[in-house]
Structure 1
Amino acid sequence: MDETTAPEIFNPLQSFGLDVKRVRSGRKLTQKHLGKATGYSHAYVSMVEAGRVKASEKFAQGCDLAFGTNGLFAGLLRRIDEGDHPSWFVPYLNLERKASRILTYETNLVTGIVQTADYARAVFRASNPRASTEGIEDKVAARLRRREVFDQDNPPFVWVIHHEACLRTVVGGADVMARQLDYLLTVAASPHVELQVMPFSAGVPATSTLPFTVLRFRDFPTVLYTETRVGGRMHDFAQTVDAALDDYDLLRARALSPDESLTLIKTLLKEHRA
């Protein structure tokens, strides 16, 4: 196939923007009209249509209202977001956005929802050595979008327990680690986040040495999420979930207090900056 017949290839953001432009043009609307209908400037509409920025959920929903497309663009945006995550992680991701409480225990790496861009980039590069730069950046952007739960009108309460190994394992070099630890201190200052460290001095953890997350909701049952080399799994059997909650209580009791945990993080931060 020569260059004159080769099909034009678009990335997901460009495809989304092109669809917006096609429907907008079909409805005889200008970018200024669409911007007013969605609550954004015509410059923002232009950047979305060119695929230079990822549309917000509000914009996608506004397009559906303006175009009468019954959730089409909101669905397209959701699939773009999900496409940057492993398929087995998507069910967890959808529940994480709806949770009222997120309880997580990590043993090796800083938990994803509070990773910095540089830290996430180093993690993805190590685990995907053959991936393109664009592919890595898409994964990083998707990971950072998980933080959007904190911007909700009623954000979840997030309780994070990191084993000390998470904070001492150097990911991406000293500068990357310093920025990551500094960000943890910023996160811990939020009224919606509690942070603890399980120190090496605590010995063998009081429960499983595997990481896990418990999601609690206001209107449906609690869910346990666990992960292995071959993917993640959701558990909603009452006895399994109750056992995980008991384990989490034990971990909280054995970990450093929140204040002591912050002191340790500050000590490690100084070491990396030095």
Structure 2
Amino acid sequence: MVNRKELKPESSPQAAYGARLRSLREGSGWNQENLAERMGYSSQHISAVETGRKPPTLPFSRRADHVLGLAGTDDAFEAEWRDMRLGSLLEGFPQYVDQEARSVEIRMFTLGIIPGLLQTAEYARALATSAVRRGAITPDQAEERVTFLAQRQAALVRPRPPMLFVTLDESCIRRPVGGADVMDAQLARLTELTENPNFVLQVAPYRIGERRPFDMPVILLTLADRSVLSYAESQAQGYLDRESTTVLPMLTAYHQLQAASLSQDASVAMINQLRKGTP
């Protein structure tokens, strides 16, 4: 009790998580060593989570639920962890991710940055680290972003994965991110993905000029019932549109973009030229 730290659960979701863990632990009559032994973690790890010095993880939350008898309940730590994770994301994005996981077809157009579903971990971490340096997010939020992205990518690896149509503005493959090695590995990843039967990659070259119909990133999702949703982001929030009167014209524009873009073979050739240092 000598070094007992006063907790402030109102200060952040992470602090609230830690305070509740301590409360339930003490309510069970256990010290940190007792809980650590039951969960398979060190007492130092338990202390760090309780005091907010270390963010909880999904495996940690599930072990806590098992040991404390909360698995599958409304009060489960896993549910609290998921709320914390989604709370650090752009408003509107969690709703999009829910639909993304259910889609049978995903169509993407992006500018400047390789889309998240195609990013290597190193590329994603370089972007997150840059956001931390700018003061846009905290280091913990950066780690959450990278972890969450990996989980999104894993969710698409299933027995019947969605068809993924990706059209990249040429700026995506020319803009260096994370240094030469990170960028080369990212470009290699793009070419590897084209070997999958459910993946189509095209580059929209600069030379198509005004024929490019979109001036901002666009994502179109086709669900199992063949309904189509669109998703776009501003700096402040994301917006999921279900209205066919606005979504279907975007689908038409996407097909027009594909027609003006390079074929997959020509796109891979351009990427390989970049990897070799050829303009």
The alignment's TM-score, normalised by the length of structure 2, stands at: 0.74
Partner of 1:69: 72
Q: How does 1:74-89 map to 2 (within 5 A)?
A: 75-89=79-93
Deviations 1:212-238 (A, max 9, x none): 000110137311111122221111111
Matches within 5 A, 1:172-211: 172-211=178-217
For 2:75 and 2:236, locate their aligned partners in 1 and report how far apart those are by CA, in whole Å: 32
Selected match of 2:97 from 93, 96, 120:
93
Tell me the matched-pair count.
253
Paired residue secondary structure (1:151): coil
What displacement does 1:88 show?
A: 2.8
Deviates more, 1:87-96 or 1:73-82: 73-82
Matched, 1:229 2:235: yes
Instruction: Please point out which of 49, 54, 58 is paired with 1:55.
Output: 58
The correspondence for 1:135, drawn from 130, 141, 146, is: 141
Q: Please give the residue correspondences for 1:251-262 in structure 2 after superposition, counting only pairs within 5 Å.
A: 251-262=257-268
Aligned-pair identity (%): 24
Say if 1:213 and 1:225, in contact at 8 Å, map to a contact too. yes
Alignment of 1:4-15 (within 5 A): 4-7=4-7, 15=17
Equivalent residue number for residue 248 of structure 2: 242
2:40 paired residue number = 46
Q: Residue type of the partner of 1:221? A: S
Over 3 Å counting, the alpha-carbon distance change for 1:8 and 1:236 in structure 2 is: closer
> Where in structure 2 are there 5+ consecutive unaligned residues?
29-36
Preserved contact between residue 149 and residue 156 of structure 1 (Cα < 8 Å): no
Amino acid at match of 1:202: I
For residue 157 of structure 2, what is the aligned residue in structure 1? 151
State which of 118, 121, 125 in structure 1 corresponds to 2:122. 118
Contact 2:90 2:236 in 1 (8 A): no
Tell me, in whole angstroms, the C-alpha distance in 1 between the residues paired with 2:4 and 2:70. 34
Aligned equivalents of 1:47, 1:266: Cα separation in 2: 46
Compared CA separation, residues 245 and 67, structure 1 to 2 (3 A): same
User: How far 1:109 moved relative to its partner?
Assistant: 0.8
RMSD (CA atoms): 3.8
Q: Is the Cα contact below 8 Å between 1:85 and 1:142 reproduced in 2?
A: no
